[in-house]
Structure 1
Amino acid sequence: MRISGPFNILRLLIGLAVIPFAAALVGRKADNPSNSHCSRVCMTNIVTQVLDSMVAHNPYALPMAPTYRATENSHPAALGMMTSWRTITKAGPPSLLAIDTTNGTAYFALDISEGNDATESVLRGRLKVVHRQITEIELFINRYRGDHGFSFSAAELPTNYEVLMSPPANRTKASRATLEALSESLFATSSNFSVTVGDACQFTELGWKVVDPGTNGTGSTDPLGCVWPSDHPTDTNARVGLVIDEELGFVVTSGTIPGKVYPYGNISAFIPDAMTSAQEAQEVWIEEMNALGIMPLLSPTGATGDTLEVLQYYNGELQAMQINVYLSGPDMTSPWL
């Protein structure tokens, strides 16, 4: 090898220095987590990072994609402008965590404190992760029954969800195709997918095992069970298969449901427009109460329910149904469509 002159020697020295530096870069690229698959552990860690960042009031510590989509209670906003990173003071591990490693998505739900542990709220969220960077965050904070339209219990949520996170070890897991079909059938106008409801299927709305006292407080005191009703609200634009957890059998589906908030005894209840018989019964009851004049009643008001509905399915049966709603004004749609 012929090397002459100071500039050639300098080029050689620079070249020799660049070779190990380039090799080091190649090594780092191979190990770069942003280019590798995100496992269940990886997804769990990212969910934990999100919750920790809320308590720290620092969304800027998160591994966000260069461009991301985000909503809070259906309102699009940058994370630094969201209430979650301003008011949440305590957020432990999720009481329910569904992970879809195929789609890189996760759904979580838990009780949180916004400064007063005596009046906790419920936080629900959906994440999408690509190359270990967050590309989507969809959050809902329900603070009391009016946000949902009827149901709410931050206090009961951890206990009710705990059993769902520990299904029987000897269960028969559903295939991904079956779970996808379940999601597609939930808000469909028609479906050939037949659903068998398990004897111990747990039905909750915003953490609460729903008890319907009736308009006069004389209804049942027993929690309602799961049903697969023919009059379930439909949505031709439903977002299906948002999270499909093949390990635990969870399926997360979103529908946007029009309806009305009616007076219901001395409280109120959101009744979807698809449930015409229930709405008609409330209209009759309102007329009766107005004639008696014994209590002030909320005027029936149009509303839209933005839902993230969670189902759990294994052993060929529906094991859990969670109807989680956040209400907004009438004739609304989802910013995710």
Structure 2
Amino acid sequence: MSWKLSSDQLPDLARGAALLGTGGGGDPFIGRLLVERAMAETGPVTVLDPEEVDDDALVIPTAQMGAPTVVVEKIPRGTEPVAALRALERHLGRRAQATMPIECGGINSMIPLLVAARTGLPVVDADGMGRAFPELQMETFSVYGVAGSPLAIAGENDETAIIDTGADNRRMESFARALTIRLGGVGHIAEYAMSGADVKRTAVPRTISLALSLGTAIREARAAHHDAVEALRTALRPTLYSHLRVLFRGKVVDVERRTVEGFARGRVRFAASGGDSSMDVEFQNENLVATVDGDVRCLVPDLIVVLEADTAEPITTEGLRYGQRVTVVGISTPDLMRTPEALATFGPAAFGIRHRFAPVEATPEDAVPAAPRG
């Protein structure tokens, strides 16, 4: 059933969204501040369970597009996502009955809340990635037959544009990426306009609720001096993300990061304290593949999440720094993200990774090199 999201819940939601963002999706702190400011003026936001959305309702997801590294220095004005929504509504000749995240990670868990606070629209408790991915065609919406076009994009100086590539969502991504680069590396978009029936058929359900529950679990475990990773494991067990594996414990010893063609690409290396083992994680905005001493431990679309060792606070790819002590965990994705069609769209091969996908729950936890705490 529907529920009200208040501003005092935003820190927990942002924390959980950063976790589900697998290192990417943009800075949730910046997004949280934008939503807090809007809610201070308008009050709580209504969150709709996907089963409550009318089949013929028009739902227009809203999001930020661009390299997360850019957003750290180029903070959004805050008007852009509503401008994109209104531009798409004008193009379609129809008003939206709800908005929704395209991904449940990072700042893009917050952008639809900002739109909702500014417009009065409800937000559907679902999304099209079940995590964060770097490209717009990498959506369960796309996998299961929803066209991303027409797409509206807006910039900080009130620019708007419409991109329509028909059913070719990959080409839509390339055009929108080019415009985003011209906008300074960050744009705000409205895309994948769909019916309520298509939401129920193609979206990953209840991921806003999930992010909130995971952020709350971390906070409460810390307050009670309990193991936050175990609290996360317990919180995830009854959900669609039912398996958590500890992949590595150690510290950051090297980070390679560059912004290329609108993406933050790079690699981070972790070294185990008191041992010779190392882990490498490659990323394109989000963490994609984790290897320990050359052996694959977790692969996209499963989640590779870097947590601060003492607090379990998620660390984004742009937040990685030499010397950080971390726990790296892998989390299983829902079944609709592991079908052959889904893996063809956002599995390892879609990123040029030569390894075949294997579920993270197949990784034996007792094989993980564990560094002593303290």
Q: State the TM-score, normalized to the length of structure 1.
A: 0.28
More strand by share: 1
More helix by share: 2
Q: Structure with the greater relative contact order (CA < 8 A, sep ≥ 6): 1 or 2?
A: 2
| Bigger Rg, which one | 1
Q: State the TM-score, normalized to the length of structure 2.
A: 0.26
